[in-house]
Amino acid sequence: MKRSTLALLRCPRDNCGTAPLTADVWIATVLDTGEDELVEGVVTCDACGGAYPIVCGVLVLLDDLAAYLRDHLGVITSLTAHGPSDAMTGWLASRAPAAVDPRHVNRSMKLEDRYVNAFLGAHFDHRTTDADTDPLIAGLLAANATRDLWSTATTLFDRTTPTSALDVGSSVGGLSALLSRRGCATVGVDTSFLSVLVARRALLFTPHPLNSYRAYREGDLYDERPLTVEGDPRYADFIVGSGLTRLVRDPVDLTCAVNLIDLVPDPARLLDTLISQTAEGGHLLITSPYGWSGVPRSRWLGGTSDEASPTALRAAGTARGLKVTWENDRVPWLWRDYSRFWRLYIVDVVLFTRT
């Protein structure tokens, strides 16, 4: 994490308000941009004393660290190329509730790796992969090029010109890169440690630059493809955190939850948390294909009513004092899982203004 990012953040626990966070830095370095980078250490909330680790440059700013480590400790410590020091491994183990089952670790690591590589393709290589060898894919990509999720986001950022943003569910950082290129200081937030590590490698070149990714062909076979990220490292940083808790001390111009609201256990809480971090007159960009994966029906934005999800999202926003500034509920989002498995989502995109 950049040292300058620390001043923007707050404790995820509600009661702590905007009390400052203090870093005990164990390892530091300087980024290519000249900014100070905190590689390893522990961040403490001045109000509650809650402690949050910085591992391999990634701050884990989660309220329930023990629960997170139960599922992620194995993934974090098995990152041998960029792994934590022995001291940090010990610190993390002392916070984890129980020993981690290595089989679980290997499986989750493999799944995470597949997922992260698919998103690297979707965020940074989506216009070209397979287009030269498959006319069907080339046609679909060409048809979508000027109206897909990325083009739509670009148009909206041109209209709203935010100078500060929170990209919740940032994954490997495509949207944050787009914002950073416009000089908008963006913090990307994701619960996936590997995604945040990879986003920082791709955009900030730390702890090591990421110059290629795996485009899976079939089974475990993949093509190593070059990765070109058009972002401005001076204007982006990424942390592990949850969109369900407040993370920034001062509201930002733009909060984004792109393809996230149908995945969190409490979508209404995500909306409330985003609003509370958006400046008055600022914007919220919410997009979703409404898969509602793992979300009980009673928690959908429309609840158990027959209301269509796009209507329910607009109603939920309006009831909270938001104004719909731009909308299109049929935005294509085409991305590749492997060469014979492309996904075409039809995403609802809403830009709200906080009045």
Ligand X SMILES: C[S@@+](CC[C@H](N)C(=O)[O-])C[C@H]1O[C@@H](n2cnc3c(N)ncnc32)[C@H](O)[C@@H]1O
- List of residues contacting ligand X (CB under 6 A): 119, 122, 168-169, 171, 189-192, 195, 242-244, 258-260, 263-264
**H helices within the chain, ranges in order?**
3-6, 65-77, 86-95, 102-124, 135-144, 149-160, 174-181, 193-204, 267-276, 309-319
Residue nearest ligand X, Cβ-based = 169
CA distance 157 to 68: 33
Residue 91 or 262 with smaller CB distance to ligand X: 262
Q: Cβ 149 to ligand X, closest distance in Å? A: 7
Residue number, 91 or 124, with CB nearest to ligand X: 124
At 111, list the tokens.
């799944």
Prior bond to 207 cis, omega within 30?
yes
* Of 91 and 175, CB closest to ligand X: 175
Cβ atoms of 348 and 309 closer than 8 Å = yes
Using the minimum distance from each CB to ligand X, give the nearer residue, 72 or 354.
72
- Nearest-angstrom CA–CA distance, 166 and 179: 10
Select 206 or 273, whichever has its Cβ closest to ligand X: 273
β-strands 164-168, 185-190: how paired? parallel
DSSP H stretches of helix in 161-258: 174-181, 193-204
Write down the least CB distance from residue 25 to ligand X, Å: 25
**Token pair belonging to 87:** 């001291």
**Closest approach of ligand X to the CB of residue 24, in Å:** 25
The smaller minimum CB distance to ligand X, of residues 91 and 255, is found at 255
Least distance between ligand X and beta carbon 191 (Å): 4
CB of residue 61 vs ligand X: minimum separation in angstroms? 11
Q: Smallest gap, in angstroms, from Cβ of residue 268 to ligand X? A: 13
Q: Are residues 19 and 47 in contact, defined by beta-carbon separation less than 8 angstroms?
A: yes
CB 352 within 8 A of CB 317: yes
